[in-house]
Amino acid sequence: MPSISTIGLDIAKSIFQVHGVDAAGHTVIRRQLRRQHVLAFFQKLPPCLVGIEACASSHYWSRELETLGHAVRLMPPAYVKPYVKRQKNDTTDAEAICEAVTRPNMRFLPTKTVEQQSCLMLHRARHLFIRQQTAVINSIRAYLAEFGIVAPVGRRGVEQLLEVVADTADRRLPEVARACLAALGGQFRALKAQILEFDRSIIAWHRSSATSKRLDALPGVGPALATALVASIADLGAFRSGRDFSAWVWARAEAELERGQRQARQHQQARRSVLAQPVHGRRARRDPLCQAPWLGASALAYWVVGAATHQDRRDRARQQTRQDGLSHDGQERTLQGTCRSRGVNEITPDSRCDVTVGRANST
């Protein structure tokens, strides 16, 4: 078998796709690998260039393959997409990665260390807990407001509300509501304690990093921002100047803002489609709205309302037909067919009637 010089590796959870070429660019290998066989496969190969899309678990596989002696290059998925020749699948993705990694003007991402990924996880977990804490606080305030109990904005206001919940002598709260709010209060205190523990871990990581301590000396930069920057940027030498670094930070902020706005627009458009298009009848079982869990309740409600409205319209059509005397023609012959809201053609031996709701035209 010809020697492999470049490999495009499309990583996944269980099934990986490999596309390898030789020095002349001819395809040498194209196969699938299960997760437990990936490292064993690359151990048998001589050192070569391996391209991977920078996605989930890509930094882990980059570190593992570099340990085996291969040269690994991580690329943003947006830069690999133009090299996909046909419909997107694992095979074409691996081929596109193998083609993109050889381009001389391709931009690569440095591999993050285990310490950097751990610090990033620390920040993201802390941010997740802060969002959950905000949601719990908003729930506590909203539930107590239903019973006329409010408090000032801020942490002290939340503590005052929890003191009201803990006071069993206060008769403004029913026992069922008090039990629910006590559970929310316990969750709020647990989240608060965990966030403080994360803060202590961030301070400890900051003190152990010389780069983070240098950044902390800058005006307006604290331990949280310094550690986040050190963990996010694997190689500070990738920026030619401070202007490049500022542009990168601004681009990241704009990308996050655009992503949040896009998700909000998608949610709003989906909500409008549910409100504007009722689902009823036999189509309700096939409609994608009924298959979406978060839209299931709305789809079910519209199915019930739509079915009831449709049935009521048919009943009114039958009643109007009987009142207008359309159940028989002039010769006392029973018309064949049924009346529908859109009209049907009913043919008898002597006449043809176009029947609509409440009216008939004989020709």
Q: Tens digit of pLDDT for each residue in 125-154?
A: 999 999 999 999 999 999 999 999 999 888
Kindly give, in sequence order, each residue whose CB lies less than 8 Å from that of residue 8, ignoring residues fewer than 6 positions away: 18, 19, 20, 50, 51, 93, 94, 95, 96, 97, 98, 99, 100, 101
Q: Alpha-carbon distance 333 to 335, whole Å?
A: 6
Identify whether residues 67 and 134 lie together within a single domain: no
- The residue from 213, 238, 263 where one domain ends is 238
Shared domain for 127 and 231, answered yes or no, is yes
- Answer yes or no: is 297 within a domain: no
Tokens 């009637």 sit at which residue? 353
Is residue 303 domain-resident? no
Higher pLDDT, 255 or 62: 62
Residue 214 within any structural domain of the chain:
yes
Tens of pLDDT, residues 308-363: 555 566 666 666 666 655 544 444 444 344 444 444 344 444 444 443 444 444 44
| Euclidean distance between CA atoms 179 and 190, whole angstroms | 17
pLDDT tens, residue by residue, 276-313: 444 444 444 444 444 444 444 444 444 444 445 555 66
Task: Quote the number of domains for the chain.
Answer: 3
Residue-wise pLDDT tens digits, 59-95: 999 999 999 999 999 999 999 999 998 888 889 999 9
Average pLDDT over residues 17-27: 91
Residues 134 and 63 in one domain: no
Would you state the structure tokens that stand for residue 305, as one six-digit string? 């309302």
Whether the per-residue pLDDT at 7 is higher than 80: the answer is yes
Mean pLDDT score across all residues of the chain: 78
| Same domain as 157, residue 78 | no
Residues 6+ apart with CB under 8 A from 291: none
Give the structural domain span for 201. 114-238
pLDDT of residue 297: 44
Specify the pLDDT at position 100: 93
Boundary-marking domain end, from 238, 268, 303: 238
Q: Do 92 and 162 share a domain, yes or no?
A: no
**Residue 17: pLDDT over 50:** yes
Q: Are strands 49-53 and 6-10 parallel, antiparallel or unpaired?
A: parallel
Q: Is residue 356 within a helix (H) or strand (E), and if so which, with residue range?
A: strand 352-356
Identify the residue with better confidence: 336 or 99. 99
* Residues 213, 120 within the same domain: yes
Both tokens of residue 350?
């002597």
pLDDT score recorded for residue 134 = 94
**How far apart are alpha carbons 69 and 78 in whole angstroms?**
27
CB hemisphere CA count around 30 (13 angstroms): 11
- Domain membership of residue 105 (yes or no) is no
Helix (H, G, I), strand (E, B) or coil at 6: strand
Task: Name the pLDDT band for 47 (thresholds 50, 70, 90).
Answer: very high
**pLDDT for 302:** 42
Cβ atoms 50, 21 nearer than 8 A: no
- Among the three residues 67, 100, 133, which one is the final residue of a domain in this structure? 100
Per-residue confidence (pLDDT) for residue 219, from 0 to 100 = 86
The two structure tokens encoding residue 152: 């000032």
Taking CA atoms, 309 is separated from 133, 167, 228, 279, in Å, by: 44, 50, 57, 11
Residue 15 confidence (pLDDT): 93
- Would you say residue 24 has pLDDT above 70? yes
Are 89 and 171 within one domain?
no
Phi, psi dihedral angles at 359 (to 5 degrees): -140, 155
pTM of the model: 0.65
Q: Tokens 């991977």 correspond to what residue?
A: 52
- Region 196-225 average pLDDT: 89
Give yes or no: residues 70 and 132 share one domain: no
DSSP designation for 146: T
Say if residue 165 is in the same domain as residue 218. Answer: yes
Confidence of residue 30 (pLDDT cuts 50, 70, 90): very high
Given the structure tokens 């012959």, which residue do they identify? 333
For residues 122 and 57, membership in a common domain is answered with no
Q: Are 127 and 232 found together in one domain?
A: yes
Mean pLDDT within 8-29: 92
287 close to 299: Cβ distance less than 8 angstroms:
yes
Q: Which pLDDT value is given to residue 346?
A: 40
Q: How far apart are CA 241 and CA 329, in angstroms?
A: 91
Specify the CATH number for the domain of residue 78.
3.30.420.140
Residue 146's pLDDT is: 92
Query: Cα separation of 49 and 42, whole Å?
Result: 11
Higher pLDDT, 295 or 50: 50
Spacing of C-alpha 288 from chain mean position: 18
